[in-house]
Structure 1
Amino acid sequence: MGDDGYREWSSRYGGATVWTKTVAPGAIGSPVLPDGCIDLIWADGTLLVAGPDTKAHHPSASGRDYVGFRFFPGTAPTLLGVPAHELRDRRVDLADLWDTATTRRLTARVDDALDRAGALEAVVLERASGVGPVDPLVRGVVGALDSGRSVTEVAEMLSVDARTLHRKSLAAFGYGPKTLARILRVRRAIAAARGGLSFADTAATTGFADQAHLARDVREFAGTTLRQLLSRP
């Protein structure tokens, strides 16, 4: 058995996604693949932050309800007040990042809401109104890398040197631009294969040297094969 009733929709906060999920008792939650994102998650009375992953995350709890807010890559650190690399491959209680009183108040607010997804989104929107703007370079990096540009091309396009690009990427995404580019490329490949392309054509159209290269990167970041991923609902 897997996840039951997963839903997601666009948030009012630039490029973000709100989602809900129920993992039935005895079920095994579907693995969460790296995507360059950070999530704020309500799970049965707790608010936690899921940092940017470099490998598939396998949820261990079943019989739980989840409500999540998935930030557009690179936009969460400004709101959370912590650089993304400190959250890499971690799940952290929000109380470890924000003061206890604030966390308790916000958790109770989501707990008591009839629309918990709406309440969680409101928490983010209110917090965002009180912090500084996200570095405009962030969206440029994501867009350029996701279009298949090389790291060198991205640095030149954004008029920054390689060291500055790497430093800003660590703080925004949790890893350097090369790793982010590979993660985004794997996600493009999975989407292309789900759309019906052969594995060879998927590799060719999404920037891999060949099908073997595609297979290695999928295995590294997803922990399984592309064929097994496509067999999942």
Structure 2
Amino acid sequence: MKQLDIKKYTPSLKLQNCIDAYWSVKNIYTKDVQIPIVPDGCMDIIYQDGKILCIGAMSEAFIVSAKPREYTFGIRFKPSVLPQLLKINASEFTDKKVFLQELSLELFSWLDFQELDEQKKVLKLNDIFEKEFENIELNQSITKAIEFIVDFQGNIQVSKLQEQLHLSSRQIERLFQNYVGYSAKKFCNIVRFFTLFKELIQDKKELSLKAYDYGYCDQAHLNKEFKKFSNFTPTHEIMSVFYNTKN
């Protein structure tokens, strides 16, 4: 039985370096639905219960309980982008949620509008954020570091980043704490986990082979890491409820 109505929308071409996706989730079931939220290095702005909230990057998984007919619309920003837009230190908001108006009254005033049609809402948000990002020059060092980690699916040593970016380990750590919310090593682990996690949702077979492919020592190491970041084992059915990527 279908319990959640989940939709995702791609941002405009101009925003695809900044916004990962617009998304919405509605519980269409008659009972509460438990939704696993796993860390991916992103920060979100969400509309929920008439409020607009800023959600910091998550360092570990947690479960949210969606009540019947509960509806959430979100804007998922790519790692490091939202802190630069809001001019905040990302590490101060890791694993936290705050009202957007406490961080930026100006952005809150732009986003505080009513629109039930999601496609129209996405178009309006595209217009708003295209204007917002016109005058923002994103930090190229953190952008390159994140791109490099993602290209290697998180399976990379921080020392390699130092070589590529010509930065000291202290400079790299400061960049990641300020713009992502945790250390470069932890971000690598999260990217590695999340990349494998999405693949496992599509195909749970041959876990031991996938473990080696992603740099884990063995399946036991993979299971330990997976449980640390998700609170579940790779084959647990609940993990595909919200993050199913088959369609």
TM-score by length of 2: 0.84
Question: Aligned partner of 2:104: which letter?
Answer: W
Match among 70, 76, 85 for residue 64 of structure 1: 70
Residue 209 of structure 1 corresponds to which residue in structure 2?
A: 217
Percent same amino acid among aligned pairs? Answer: 22
The answer to whether the 8 A contact 1:2-1:27 is kept is no
1:232 aligned onto 2:232: no
Unaligned regions of 5+ residues in structure 2, if any?
Answer: 242-247
Match among 43, 46, 53 for residue 41 of structure 1: 46
Q: Give the drift of 1:123.
A: 3.2
The answer to whether the 8 A contact 1:23-1:29 is kept is no
Structure 1 residues 35 and 64: CA distance shift in structure 2, 3 A = same
Deviates most, 157-166 or 205-214: 205-214
Q: Give the drift of 1:189.
A: 1.6
The answer to whether the 8 A contact 2:62-2:231 is kept is no
Residue 118 of structure 1 corresponds to which residue in structure 2?
A: 123
Matches within 5 A, 1:14-25: 14-15=16-17, 16-24=20-28
CA RMSD of aligned residues (A): 2.2
TM-score by length of 1: 0.88
The answer to whether the 8 A contact 2:83-2:89 is kept is yes
Residue 192 of structure 2 corresponds to which residue in structure 1?
A: 185
1:133 aligned onto 2:141: no
**What is the DSSP-based 3-state SS (H/G/I as helix, E as strand, rest coil) of the residue aligned with 1:60?**
strand
Structure 1 residues 45 and 133: CA distance shift in structure 2, 3 A = same
Structure 1 residues 119 and 155: CA distance shift in structure 2, 3 A = same
Bigger share in strand: 2
Structure 1 residues 29 and 174: CA distance shift in structure 2, 3 A = same
- Aligned residue pairs total 229
Unaligned regions of 5+ residues in structure 1, if any?
Answer: none
The answer to whether the 8 A contact 1:20-1:117 is kept is no
Q: For 2:234 and 2:6, how far apart are their aligned partners in 1?
A: 22
Structure 1 residues 231 and 68: CA distance shift in structure 2, 3 A = closer
Structure 1 residues 221 and 3: CA distance shift in structure 2, 3 A = farther
**Where do 4+ consecutive residues of structure 1 move more than 6 Å?**
none
